[in-house]
Amino acid sequence: MIDKTCSIRDIATGIESGMTLGIGGWGGRRKPMAFVRELLQTPATDLTLLSFGGPDVGMLAAAGKVRKLVFGFVSMDLVPLEAHFRAARQAGAFEVMELDEGMFQLGLKAAAARLPFLPTRVGFGSDVLTTNPEIKTVKSPYGDEELVAVPALPVDVAICHVNQADTLGNSRISGPDPFFDEWFCRAAGKAFLTTEEVVPTDAFDDPLTALQMPIERNLVHGVALARHGAHPTSCAPAYGIDVDHLRHYSAAAKGGWPGYRAQYVDGLDLEGYVEAVGGAARIEALPLPVF
């Protein structure tokens, strides 16, 4: 069996300028932030991001690494609007394709199935088609109904953060927010996982655990240990959203990004970052959000 373990830096340094990245997680929840911070320290730029965005999008936008963003929203849950994303978008710093969340999912599913598009009725009567003229309509061959043809959203590399993984690429998402991580991985040429814990394969033997294992190991190219790697977003049940840190980070959008980056990103590995934000015990004491 293939040992798929690697480092966060291995994943980040494999990202080349011009690539399309699919970033898992959901707003302020279970974002692969340790990977994002490593990516900030590489020369890769001109990236296309696909994300239900949070600070992953904001940090990469603040660093000028984004050429195009495909998204359903960019939020940090308790901090409703990602300030760095807002500043970059208002400045016209990158192209955008803003989609309904269901349309975004259909685009990933089309790419996963190696189809050019999937049809839907969603989008009519909204500005989705107005602001995205590249999205076409198609007539059903089973009658004349006009449907929206959601284009496939293929991904070069997908990165998701999970609670547990083994060296073979089996993984588990224990929190209540798995959402669409598997579809980023299915739509990708290569998929990588960062994980809170590397466990033996028999940790997944309980049949009910299979209900928390949406990402099939054959989709996974590499697994990197990243304890507390979702911070400052949550990774239930291990730790909640660091609202205080996200407010500090958001305030940096008003001219303070270089200082924030110098304090929490540049020259730091994950261990150094954890110490910079107050240590492991502080992260693990963060209360879980209630939705």
Q: What is the pLDDT of residue 228?
A: 98
Band (pLDDT 50/70/90 cuts) for residue 289 is: confident
pLDDT band at 56, cuts 50/70/90? very high
Query: What are the pLDDT digits (tens) for 185-220?
Result: 999 999 999 999 999 999 999 999 999 999 999 999
Q: pLDDT value at position 1?
A: 77
Could you tell me how far CA 138 lies from the centroid of its own chain?
Answer: 30
pLDDT, mean of residues 172-178: 92
Report pLDDT digits (tens) over 219-258: 999 999 999 999 999 999 999 999 999 999 999 999 999 9
* Burial of 3: CB neighbours in 10 Å, binned 0-12, 13-18, 19+: exposed
Give the list of residues 6+ apart from residue 182 with CB closer than 8 angstroms, or none: 214, 215, 216, 219
Read off the pLDDT of residues 43-54 as tens digits, 9 standing for 90 and up.
999 999 999 999
pTM tops 0.95: yes
Q: What are phi and psi of 142, to 5 degrees?
A: -105, 55
Is pLDDT above 80 for 153?
yes
* pLDDT tens per residue, range 121-133: 999 999 999 999 9
Distance CA 274, CA 186 (A): 31
Rg (C-alpha) for the chain, rounded Å, is 19
> What are the Cα distances from residue 35, in Å, to 103, 122, 158, 254?
27, 34, 11, 24
